[in-house]
Structure 1
């Protein structure tokens, strides 16, 4: 299953002018728990998907209470400056959409 199909919410936004935050929320605690325990969401994956150095990733945090996780990383170009193609950071979740998630044989 693709992350896009498993998540109830998959969005991104600026976290100030120099960072982007991606939020992924689930409505099924079992799916959330399987993804969290799988370790598939990690700095290596984010670094590869976004073509950034692992040091550019400031947070990958799972929030059990919200059934979701947050990824924050440095923008290559600050928001609203020359050559910025996404001033609000609202399209930066797209690389995560097609990540394959193995939920086991019952899903």
Structure 2
């Protein structure tokens, strides 16, 4: 039996990342409704280990905040390269959300 999947980006209202100071990145999954929030909040799909693997950071440093009243999952982790340093390729962390948005989850049942 196969299950249809969809990306978090496809099921979310918005997935964004932003600079949270020179040493941290914050990402937010704004989900459309309770059903899509349940997918994003499910620790089987979005957890510290998944984020660590996507962004090359220590799982123990990843902070996850699930906010069901807003249908939002917020994720913060230390920047691998500090903001503005010579090797920093995204000073405002505006593109860090892309790998998270591509995480596959089961398609919601209509």
Q: Please give the per-residue CA displacement for 1:73-103, whole angstroms capped at 9, x wherever unaligned.
A: 0001111121111110111001112111114
Count residues with an aligned counterpart: 105
Q: Which stretches of structure 1, 4 residues or longer, exceed 4 Å deviation after superposition?
A: none
**1:102/1:84 Cα in 2 relative to 1: closer, same or farther (>3 Å)?**
same
> Hey, which of these two has a bigger chunk of strand by percent?
2
Segments of structure 2 that go 5 or more residues without pairing to the other structure are 1-5
Match of 1:21 in 2: 26
Match of 2:3 in 1: none
Q: Are residue 69 (structure 1) and residue 77 (structure 2) matched?
A: no
In the superposition, the TM-score normalised over structure 1's length comes to 0.89
In the superposition, the TM-score normalised over structure 2's length comes to 0.86
RMSD of equivalent CA atoms: 1.5
> Hey, which of these two has a bigger chunk of helix by percent?
1
